[in-house]
Amino acid sequence: MPATIGRAFLHNFLGQAPAWYKYTIIAFLAINPLVALTLGPVTAGWLLLAEFIFTLAMALKCYPLQPGGLLAIEAVMIGLTSADTVLHKVESNLEVMLLLIFMVAGIFFLKDLLLFMFTRILLGVKSKVRLSLLFCMAAAVLSAFLDALTVTAVVIAVCTGFYGIYHKVASGKTFQQKHDHGDDTSVEELHREDLRRFRSFLRSLLMHAAVGTALGGVCTLVGEPQNLLIANKAGWEFGEFFLRMAPITLPVLLVGLMTCVFLEISGSFGYGEDIPEKVRGIMRQYALEQDRKRTPQNRAALVVQAITAVWLVVGLATHAASVGLVGLTVIILATSFTGIIEEHRLGAAFEEALPFTALLTVFFAVVAVIADQQLFAPVIEYVLTLEKHVQGPAFYIANGVLSAVSDNVFVATVYVDEVGQALLKQEIDRDTFDLLAVAINTGTNIPSVATPNGQAAFLFLLTSALAPLVRLSYGRMVIMALPYTIVMSITGLVMTAMALEPATTYMYENGWIEHHDASEYSESPEEHH
């Protein structure tokens, strides 16, 4: 009997995850307290970081919230950090949390409009190269004004819509019938090859768009969470942030778009698959049927969604309110004027965002361990001993490597804090701090496309319901991102080494940007506000 109960506990633990994965997590949990007692908290901290990255890498075996959460709870229990430090990390990143909760949910209520627009683009643009470039550019432009996660949510919603429409027809059903598009058993034989090609087509569009969010997201103050965080500390406004980043971000944007074109023309790294003609025909048929069925209420709803989308861009560009609060206004406006007033219909919008918000909170616990055990401090101290002209590229590389395996928001948070401390101790001057802040921001944003661990938008895509449908695994994502990673990272490094300092000096001399004083540095986001 006890053996049966023991087996039942093991069966329930982490559910459908493979047995080897369950045993690995149990081993992690058993070994951490022993390492903390015998080898000290710093070694235990590094071990915990490696274990957490493992749970992110295995996201398709088991959603990282549970195993990562167990590691985070244990970290607090064995004294690697405290619950107060974790709460402080959550509080100082409240804008990021609100962004995830409300903005991603807000986009849910604009999906009809987005599906309408993107279906027109898909049907209107025949060339796969032009279509890919359009997706990449659209994602880049949108990410410069919205957050990359918001744009990724849009692309996921659109591609899920496309996939669901075709899968339903391939399974022998009409557009109106209910259907589970995760089940391939009912797909008719003559549609199987087209379905395989369509998955490949959607995978390439998703990856171009995800990289596009990184290309645009690094350019402006609202593009990525760490941009906002670094700008707050440095006291940079929207225009100044764009100009300071431009010597690195604009060349990277250009080579990123050129890489997109090259990948589609060459058909390498899993790109180049065109939409099967049969699928395009079904999409066209669906679009015509939707147009025919559209009632005056549906048209009115599309108009409301379009006006709400305009408000979204204006609200974010003018910083009318915190990004998350703008997202909440989108939910209120889009639902009030389209008749969505029942609680259960509102609840569906939060299903995509909340698991990821919970996962992000768990990551703050790991960041709290990094901060309390000062895991990255030796790297900072070493870089500050280098020659001044080498410090920027050195920070770019150090941030890039860590962001590729960890998460870029947190790497940026830790590094900009450390460089800020060096400024307060007068180890560096304010102009050097500003140059290093640019190197940190671009270093965390650009090379982090290497893996889903680095970019929140990539991890969001990997852990979405769409990833398994289009067979987008962790390994496949890394391979598809590889050419982008190499080209963008090298361009960013060369620009940091050769163009950043002279371009910044030129902007100072011509009055485009102004010198800041060390006293303007804000030690915490709260102070700046």
| Helices and strands in the chain, H and E counts | 27, 0
Give the whole-angstrom CA distance, residue 233 versus residue 252. Answer: 25
pLDDT in tens, 478-490: 999 999 999 999 9
For residues 332 and 449, membership in a common domain is answered with yes
pLDDT 10s digits, 51-83: 987 887 777 688 889 999 999 999 999 999 999
Same domain, residue pair 119 and 72 = no
Residues 473 and 508 in one domain: yes
Token pair belonging to 192: 């199987």
Statement to judge: residues 497 and 355 lie in one domain: yes
Residue with tokens 């540095």: 521
Range of the domain at 43: 1-80
Query: DSSP string of 176-203?
Result: TS---TT--TT--GGGHHHHHHHHHHHH
- Does one domain contain both 53 and 114? no
| Burial group, residue 80, by CB count within 10 angstroms (0-12, 13-18, 19+) | buried
Rounded Cα–Cα distance for residues 395 and 379 (Å): 9
CB atoms within 10 A of CB 203: 22
In sequence order, what are the residues at sequence separation of 6 or more whose Cβ sits closer than 8 angstroms to the Cβ of residue 337?
A: 301, 304
Is residue 444 within a helix (H) or strand (E), and if so which, with residue range? helix 430-445
Alpha helices in 499-529 (DSSP H): 500-509, 525-528
The last residue of one of the domains, among 80, 106, 131, is 80
Is residue 529 situated within a structural domain?
Answer: no
Rounded Cα–Cα distance for residues 297 and 316 (Å): 28
Look at residues 64, 80, 96 and tell me which one is the last residue of a structural domain: 80
Judged against a pLDDT cut of 60, whether residue 1 lies above it is answered with no
In a domain, 528, yes or no: no
Does residue 164 lie in a domain region?
A: yes
Q: Are residues 47 and 88 in the same domain?
A: no
The answer on 324 and 213 residing in a single domain is yes
Q: 443 by DSSP, 3-state: which?
A: helix
Q: Are residues 312 and 258 in the same domain?
A: yes
Out of 80, 101, 119, pick the residue that ends a domain: 80
Per-residue model confidence as pLDDT tens digits over 182-238: 666 666 666 778 888 888 999 999 999 999 999 998 988 777 878 877 887 888 877
**Identity (one letter) of the amino acid at 441?**
N
Does residue 174 share a domain with residue 262?
Answer: yes
> Is 410 domain-assigned?
yes
The rounded percent of the chain whose pLDDT value lies above 90 is 29
CB 176 within 8 A of CB 104: no
Residue 109 domain flag: yes
- Find the helix or strand (DSSP H, E) in which 232 lies: helix 225-234
Q: How many domains does the chain have?
A: 2
Residue 170 backbone class (left: φ over 0; alpha: ψ -120 to 50; beta: rest): alpha
Question: Do 57 and 453 contact (CB within 8 A), yes or no?
Answer: yes
HSE of 70 in the Cβ direction (CA atoms, 13 Å)?
17
Mean pLDDT of 322-340: 88
Residue 312: exposure state from Cβ atoms within 10 A (0-12, 13-18, ≥19): buried
| Contact yes or no for 375/41 (Cβ under 8 A) | no
Shared-domain flag, residues 64 and 156: no
First to last CA, the chain: 61
In this prediction, residue 185 carries a pLDDT of 67
Tell me, yes or no, whether 490 lies in a domain: yes
For residue 400, the surrounding DSSP H or E stretch is helix 388-405
Residue 118 is assigned to a structural domain of this protein: yes
pLDDT one-digit tens code per residue, 315-330: 876 778 877 888 899 9
Tens-digit pLDDT profile for residues 153-193: 778 877 888 888 888 777 776 666 666 666 666 666 667 78
Number of Cβ within a 10 Å radius of residue 405: 17
525 found inside a domain: no
Cα 363 to Cα 90, 114, 207, 236, 358, distances in angstroms: 10, 31, 24, 27, 9
Average pLDDT over the chain, rounded to an integer: 84
Residue tagged 């493992």 (tokens) = 54
- Do both 106 and 217 map to the same domain? yes
**Radius of gyration (C-alpha) of the chain in whole angstroms:** 24
Q: State pLDDT tens for residues 14-59.
A: 988 999 999 999 999 999 999 999 999 999 999 998 898 788 777 7
| Neighbour count for residue 99 (Cβ, 10 Å) | 26
Same domain? For 352 and 296 the reply is yes
Question: 512 vs 41, 257, 434, 504, CA distance in Å?
Answer: 47, 27, 15, 9
